[in-house]
A = this chain, B = another copy of it.
């Protein structure tokens, strides 16, 4: 699975055994991470970025890997997350396949990959692993924890389970718990993978890989990551040129939007491990910040202690809808946090934070400048 890992990735070993919230432990687990910028003398300029389901730790280029990262426009010298001021750490989530230990990794106890023997993964485990990385890198305190999408859930779990570690927080298109529409979408994505005979209860290999299931799952993902509004303008009812169509297939690709989904799916399927996808996807459905205090998500939010917070969302997001970022800001404020809710008019839906840097850049940059 080394093909999944960007060059220049570094690693931090987790304590062994590493206890998992829902039971079981990991032996010899590690977390992949990358950094940008330099720690200052007081070591109080560190920012942690927690990612969505699929990204690796390569958020932006650096000397060891000059390839553009998934948040290249947001992160670097003079950019909204300005690496001339901040020392930025991005971790690949526990349970992923981009360098961190997950279902695709080798279990040292058996010498073979975990597959479905990997213990049940929760958002809280991802948060605990990230907190260990922060401490292992020698930071007592972070200037900010930034979480996008699933990472927004991870960030809230981080704040709840590691109080005092972060001074501030930016939650981007995140949520304090999963809502039933999002659960339904993710459940269907997992079903698509599991229905592929090649998934084989998790026992696939490169030669027998559940490509159809992963393609379906990814297409459904992309549909929910973007927005109908964006697509109306971008694709409309434009047909594919005839040389890009298979006239022998009566139900083949015909519209540009179908080709767009197909392209996204093809780029993804062999670059992400299906079992890791299942585990990470399920962890989002399970997440409910209310569990952190035995109450509701609102109560969980009101117990979080940071000095300042920003919750950003977009009105076209159907997967982590805007009211969930409103809930985060309101809940933090109810607990005494100086929290701001910032709804943005991006047409790009859930993924807007990746592409609409024109709106998200100033929002993130202004918040960080104010620290």
Using a CB–CB cutoff of 8 Å, the interface residues on chain A facing chain B are 116, 120, 177-185, 187-188, 190-192, 194-197, 212, 216, 219-220, 223, 227-228, 231-232, 234-237, 250-251, 253-258, 261, 278, 282, 285, 288, 318, 321
Provided the pairs A179-B232, A183-B258 are in contact, do residues A190 and B251 lie with their beta carbons within 8 angstroms? yes
Q: Which 8 A-B pairs have the closest CB atoms?
A: A181-B228, A180-B257, A180-B231, A180-B235, A187-B258, A195-B212, A184-B257, A184-B223
From residue A265, how far is it (CB to closest CB) to chain B in Å?
10
Q: A179-B236, A191-B219, A195-B212 are in contact. List 18 more A-B contacts (CB 8 A).
A: A116-B250, A178-B237, A179-B228, A179-B232, A180-B236, A180-B256, A181-B223, A181-B231, A181-B257, A183-B255, A184-B257, A184-B258, A187-B253, A188-B219, A188-B220, A195-B216, A197-B197, A318-B318
Q: How far is the CA of A216 from the CA of B212 in the complex (A)?
A: 13
Does B288 contact A237, Cβ atoms closer than 8 Å? Answer: yes
From residue A273, how far is it (CB to closest CB) to chain B in Å?
15
Contact of A180 among B195, B216, B232 (CB under 8 A): B232
Does A321 contact B228, Cβ atoms closer than 8 Å? Answer: yes
Q: How far is the CA of A263 from the CA of B227 in the complex (A)?
A: 28
Does A216 contact B188, Cβ atoms closer than 8 Å? Answer: yes
Residues of B close to A228: CB separation below 8 A: 179-182, 318, 321
Residues of B close to A223: CB separation below 8 A: 181, 184-185, 188
Main secondary structure, interface of A, reads helix
Q: How far is the CA of A183 from the CA of B239 in the complex (A)?
A: 12
- Indicate how many identical chains form the complex: 2
Q: Which of A181, A223, A256, A258 has the most CB of B within 10 A?
A: A181
Residues of B close to A178: CB separation below 8 A: 237
From residue A280, how far is it (CB to closest CB) to chain B in Å?
12
Contact of A194 among B180, B251, B257, B258 (CB under 8 A): B251
Does A261 contact B216, Cβ atoms closer than 8 Å? Answer: no
Name which residue of chain B comes closest to A257, CB basis: B180
Does A255 contact B187, Cβ atoms closer than 8 Å? Answer: yes
Residues of B close to A282: CB separation below 8 A: 251
Contact of A261 among B188, B254, B288 (CB under 8 A): B188
| A/B interface sample: 28 pairs, CB < 8 A | A116-B250, A120-B250, A179-B231, A179-B232, A179-B237, A180-B231, A180-B257, A181-B232, A182-B228, A183-B258, A184-B257, A185-B223, A187-B257, A188-B216, A188-B261, A191-B216, A191-B219, A192-B192, A194-B251, A195-B212, A195-B216, A197-B197, A216-B216, A220-B220, A228-B321, A251-B282, A254-B285, A255-B285
From residue A236, how far is it (CB to closest CB) to chain B in Å?
7
Residues of B close to A181: CB separation below 8 A: 223, 227-228, 231-232, 257
Q: How far is the CA of A333 from the CA of B273 in the complex (A)?
A: 54
Q: How far is the CA of A228 from the CA of B116 in the complex (A)?
A: 31
